[in-house]
A and B are shown apart, each in its own frame.
Chain A
Amino acid sequence: MSMKATTRQVDSITVIDLSGRITLGEGCVQLRQLIRDELGRGNKNLLVNLADVTYIDSSGIGELVSAFTAVSNQGGQLKLLNLTKKVHDLLQITKLYTVFDVHDDEAKAIASYGKSAGA
Chain B
Amino acid sequence: MTTDTSVVEVTLESDLKKVEFADEISRRVSATAGFDEDDRQKIEMAVHESLINAIYHGNKNDETKYVYLRFEIHGDRLVVHIRDQGQGFNPDTVADPLATENLLKVSGRGIFLIRAFMDEFKVENLPGVGTEVTMMKKLNSSITPNQGGTDREHEGHNTPS
Contacts and interface: CB of A to CB of B under 8 A. Distances in A.
Interface stretch (A33-41, A42-50, A93-101): A93-101
A23 interface: yes
Q: Chain A binding site: helix, strand, loop or mixed by DSSP?
A: helix
Given A24-B16, A25-B16, A58-B113, A69 B104 contact: yes
Contacts, number: 52
Contact of A62 (B23, B56, B106): B106
Contacts of A68: 104
A112 interface: no
Interface of B: 16-17, 19-20, 23, 41, 45, 48-49, 52, 56, 97-98, 103-107, 109-110, 112-113, 116
A86 B41 contact: yes
Given A62-B106, A62-B107, A86-B41, A93 B116 contact: yes
Given A21-B20, A24-B52, A94 B112 contact: yes
A59 interface: yes
Given A24-B16, A24-B52, A57-B52, A99 B103 contact: yes
A24 B45 contact: no
6 contacts: A25-B16, A25-B17, A57-B49, A58-B49, A93-B116, A95-B98
Q: Chain B binding site: helix, strand, loop or mixed by DSSP?
A: helix
A12 interface: no
B98 to A, nearest CB: 5
Interface of A: 21, 23-25, 55, 57-59, 61-63, 65-66, 68-69, 86, 90, 93-96, 99
Nearest to A94: B109
A63 B103 contact: no
